[in-house]
Amino acid sequence: MESNKIDEMKASNEAVNKLKNKKKISLIVKKLSCFRSPDYEFPTIDEVDGNGNVDMTSASTDKKHSPIHLVVMVNGLVGSANNWKFAAKQFLKSYPEDLIVHCSERNSSLLTFNGVDVMGNRLANEVMSVIKRNPNLQKISFIGHSLGGLIARYAIAKLYTRDSTNNDCSENISNERIAGLVPINFISVATPHLGTGGHRQVPMFGGSNSVEKVANQISWVLGRTGRHLFLTDNKAHRQPPLLIQMVNDSEDLKFFSALKSFRRHVVYANAHFDHIVGWSTSSIRRRNELPQRKDLVRSSKYPHILIGDATNTIKQEKPIKFKVNSFNTARASMEETMIRGLAKISWERIDVSFKGSKQKYFAHNTIQVNTPWINSDGADIIQHLVDNFHL
């Protein structure tokens, strides 16, 4: 009898605990829903292929031909392939017969601390494996969020080839290839192209030189990736930091040529509330070249896109002043080198603002719709990306 009572009590306690857990989950969902856009709808296309890869193709069964354009989406620091699922599904809804979208899965979680070069090599190998599974592919595009943009820039240098034997090329047909495919779009979203340090994006840092020094000294916390982002790598070898090397061609890796080979180059950058990646580094502009926010107005079609600044190219000859013996001098000099190198390419700059949104403090993830429940306000940014994509 006593054992039966004990069993009944256990069962009762389990039922109570289950009820409590359900209430907790319900409460969390309610709290998250306050951040969610009222017109947000979850997409329904399924995406994982038989090999476990996040290769997303149209759910349509009446396709007349196989897709010929591969879109590679690359996640950022401590991210995963899941971060790009929402965007990938929107692409497939708009271009069901044209695209294969591959959300990279080789650099996720703690693997993103291994360094831009190591991750770039992984991504390059991953892209080649995707192409082998899809022999009909002819074109390729890359979309990277945050650190993913830098990883993609390294990977395309590994995948870049130029057929010097083909002299029958007109203006519109280049002999340059990425993984054997014609490069079309290179798009970065909130990517620190100029590195992470010195952009005053974290309010608690306040642009303080002393805090910036500490940040540089503890960049090792993020492993080799941190040293790359804070431009503190390669000191022992007396070589320029990797991000500076990546604005030029070297004997082994044609970083600049690979990037330039794409027909279109786009940077999406948060003008407000991005406490991870600053506006200037993500839009590849000097801080004194950033437009006045008060002069920018919201697009009527895409509520979080800012319009009003038509500067698509950087004035390369603009002088820059350094403070003597300042901690910022070396970093500013390196930034200037990167800007001048990347300025040789024409960039479309899309400035974004979530000012007024409940999700504004999550701007770095909202611009990607990283987690739809709490980043749904970025849906118009993804739609802008889809609508302006070149097939």
pLDDT in tens, 309-338: 544 444 443 444 444 444 467 788 999 999
Q: What is the CA radius of gyration of the chain?
A: 23
| The CA-based dihedral angle spanning residues 266, 272, 273, 278, taken in that order and rounded to the nearest 10 degrees | 50
Residue in this structure with the two tokens 């390419």, named with its chain if needed: 345
Q: Tell me how far CA of residue 250 lies from CA of 16, 157, 209, in angstroms.
A: 65, 10, 33
Closest CA to 243 of 141, 353, 363, 120: 120
What stretch of H or E contains 186? strand 182-189
Both structure tokens of 98 = 């044209």
Can you give the pLDDT at residue 308?
A: 79
Residue 54: per-residue pLDDT: 60
- What angle in degrees, to the nearest 10, is found between the helix axes of 85-94 and 379-387? 40
Model pLDDT for residues 368-390, shown as the tens digit of each residue: 999 999 999 999 999 999 999 99
Mean pLDDT for each 10-residue chunk of the chain (391 residues)?
55 56 47 44 44 54 74 97 97 97 96 97 98 97 98 98 66 84 98 80 42 48 88 81 97 97 98 94 95 93 86 42 52 92 97 96 97 96 98 97
Residue whose token pair is 């982002």: 229
Distance (Å, whole) CA 283 – CA 207: 19
DSSP string over 29-80: HHHHHTTS-TT----------TTS--EE----S--SS---EEEEEE--TT--
Mapped onto helix, strand or coil, the DSSP state of residue 297 is strand
Label the pairing between strands 264-270 and 182-189: parallel
Cα(3)–Cα(88) distance, rounded to whole angstroms? 55
Question: 24 near 58, Cβ under 8 Å?
Answer: no
pTM to 2 decimals?
0.81
From CA 242, how far away is CA 209, in angstroms rounded?
23
Give residue 83's pLDDT.
Answer: 97
